[in-house]
Amino acid sequence: MSLKTKYGATALVAGASEGIGAAFATRLAAEGFGLILIARRQEPLQKLADALSDKYKVSVRCIVCDLSDEGVSEHIAASLEGTEIDILVYNAALSHIGSFIGHPSEGHNQAARLNMITPMNLVHHFGGKMVEKGRGAVVMMSSMAGFQGSGFLATYAATKAFNRVLAESLWYEWKDKGVDIIACCAGATVTPGYIRSAPGKVSLLAPAAQKPEDVVRECFTRLGRRPSFISGGGNRFASFIMQRLLPRITAVKIMGDNTRKMYRL
Ligand SMILES: NC(=O)c1ccc[n+]([C@@H]2O[C@H](COP(=O)([O-])OP(=O)(O)OC[C@H]3O[C@@H](n4cnc5c(N)ncnc54)[C@H](OP(=O)(O)O)[C@@H]3O)[C@@H](O)[C@H]2O)c1
């Protein structure tokens, strides 16, 4: 069954102008969904919106706002009053790479709002409406970093664990209500944000970085079948070793050591 037949006609992608969010928007436009796209920078967002509406003949509306602002979920809900959202993809995230105390606490608060509070509020609002009508889907972006303590990515990793646990919990609550929700746990993915972070090579055995389109394809294959998944065969293999075979202390040390090496800390 196509995504449109199963879920409806309109998708909201929060954090949509580039990278994995843009790949979600592109795939959903290709499936015929009308789109609402959110990001802070008007220009790249509008450029993507124009390209998608031209190519796929779908309606695309942009909302330019900062998803880490307090009260932003209420603003989005009010802007979309009367618009039914059938698929919600929450993609935007902030990750501070470096020592926890070396970064001002307002930065950690901002990451907590962007990565946890806003998605929780949007899922509460739009997911609630999906449950009322008995149809819909939610994708929450998570990360391999959220499976164990990840030194030098501390707040980011903790917020990504939150997303996964929230999605898995709601999967259970909603599994008989017609609403699918999944946490998409990505590993390294070649996005503009990832490239800007300038990661070094950790080891020849590290899983290869994925393309955003591949993460999206894997996600939609698994949506409705499981509460969460790890994207990429290499990442699934690495996770099996880290989570199932190694003691937790070793997994935490490997994560911290790799991050230090990758970002020359
Ligand atoms: N890339 C990876 O290697 C990787 C690995 C694991 C997990 N992930 C997860 O995958 C998701 C996407 O990652 P990504 O690398 O594609 O991109 P990203 O750099 O995290 O964000 C991409 C999109 O989010 C928007 N955005 C960022 N902050 C925002 C804010 N405060 N308010 C509104 N929009 C905002 C950006 O547009 P504007 O800048 O215009 O706002 C952009 O369109 C994240 O949740 C990340 O945790 C990524």
pLDDT digits (tens, 9 = 90+) for 216-248: 999 999 999 999 999 999 999 999 999 999 999
Residue to mutate, 91, 197, 211, 215, ligand 1, most ligand atoms under 8 Å from C-beta: 91
Q: What is the pLDDT of residue 250?
A: 97
Q: What is the pLDDT of residue 32?
A: 98
What's the pLDDT band for 203 if we cut at 50, 70, 90?
A: confident
Ligand 1 center–CA 120 separation, angstroms:
16
Query: Is the shortest distance between the CB of 93 and ligand 1 below 6 Å?
Result: yes
Residue 204, pLDDT above cutoff 80 = no
Q: What is the pLDDT of residue 42?
A: 98
Q: What is the mean pLDDT of the segment spanning 155-169?
A: 98
Q: What is the mean pLDDT of the segment spanning 248-253?
A: 97
Atom from ligand 1 closest to the CA of residue 110: 31
pTM of the model: 0.98
Percent of the chain with pLDDT over 90: 96
Percent of the chain with pLDDT over 70: 100
What's the pLDDT band for 201 if we cut at 50, 70, 90?
A: confident
What's the pLDDT band for 206 if we cut at 50, 70, 90?
A: confident
Q: Which tokens go with 33?
A: 């969904």
Q: Could you tell me which residue, 203 or 41, shows the higher pLDDT?
A: 41
Query: Is the shortest distance between the CB of 20 and ligand 1 below 6 Å?
Result: yes
Query: Is the shortest distance between the CB of 114 and ligand 1 below 6 Å?
Result: yes
Query: Is the shortest distance between the CB of 88 and ligand 1 below 6 Å?
Result: no
Ligand 1 center–CA 138 separation, angstroms:
17
pLDDT by residue (tens digit) across 42-91?
999 999 999 999 999 999 999 999 999 999 999 999 999 999 999 999 99
Residue to mutate, 12, 20, 41, 97, ligand 1, most ligand atoms under 8 Å from C-beta: 20
Phi/psi at 197 (5° precision): -75, -5
Structural Rg of the chain based on CA atoms: 18
Q: Whose CA is nearest to atom 21 of ligand 1?
A: 92
Q: What is the pLDDT of residue 202?
A: 79
Average pLDDT, the chain: 97
- Strand partners of residue 12: 36, 88
